[in-house]
Amino acid sequence: MARTTDARERAIMTAERLFRTQGFAATGLTQILSESGAPKGSFYFHFPDGKTELAREVLARYGARATALIRALSAKNPGNAPAFVDQLCDAFASEMKSSGFTLGCAVQNLAAEAFAGSEDLKGPVRDILDQWSAAISIQFRESGFGAARSDRMARILLNGLFGARTDSRITASVDAFKDLAWMFRKLL
């Protein structure tokens, strides 16, 4: 039977925002529920595994959305790695700017916090990382780089974006993304 409300979806979207700005442990179910307008009584109907399942769903959506962005920019700049990197950095920068520099990365936050406790999130987090890395690597290969070098540069770009986002939150600026793009123009 098809779903008849979007309560579940709203909860996931609200949770993503809160996990990214406040962190996983600091965000209470109560806050997620009240801000999303989702009813409390049916939370465990929608998420039998509780907060952990919510986190898994957040991760899945966040991961897929970022992968889609990478592929879209890749398709828009075929064989043009520098332009691809520039636009990827720009996309991150503008998301940070438009959020008032409050948004962290869901993967980074959940990895940092939820790893110590439950094991359930480790697998998904690793999978997302690999997925992102592979999607970026393809763009580099199509720009003429060898497989090994593409993989390595993909990982460097990814980690650079992680770090740049941290820097961006702290300094409330997008300079870190610009520096990252500058560096890749040198590297490529």
Partner DNA sequence: ACGTGCGGGACATCCCGTTATT
Partner DNA sequence: AATAACGGGATGTCCCGCACGT
Rounded CA separation 92/104 (Å): 11
Which 21-60 residues touch its own copies, going by CB under 8 A?
Answer: 21-26
Q: Does 120 bind DNA (CB under 7 A)?
A: no
Q: Which listed range, 41-49, 67-75, 155-163, 166-174, lies at the site for DNA (CB under 7 A)?
A: 41-49
Out of 3, 4, 100, 116, point to the residue binding its own copies (CB under 8 A).
Answer: 116
182 interacts with, out of its own copies, DNA, none, CB within 5 to 8 A per kind: its own copies
Q: Does 148 bind DNA (CB under 7 A)?
A: no
Out of 79, 115, 118, 120, point to the residue binding its own copies (CB under 8 A).
Answer: 115
Rounded CA separation 49/56 (Å): 10
Q: Which residues bind its own copies (CB under 8 A)?
A: 21-26, 102, 104, 107-109, 111-113, 115-117, 122, 125-126, 129, 152, 155-156, 158-164, 166-167, 169-171, 175-176, 179-180, 182-183, 186-187
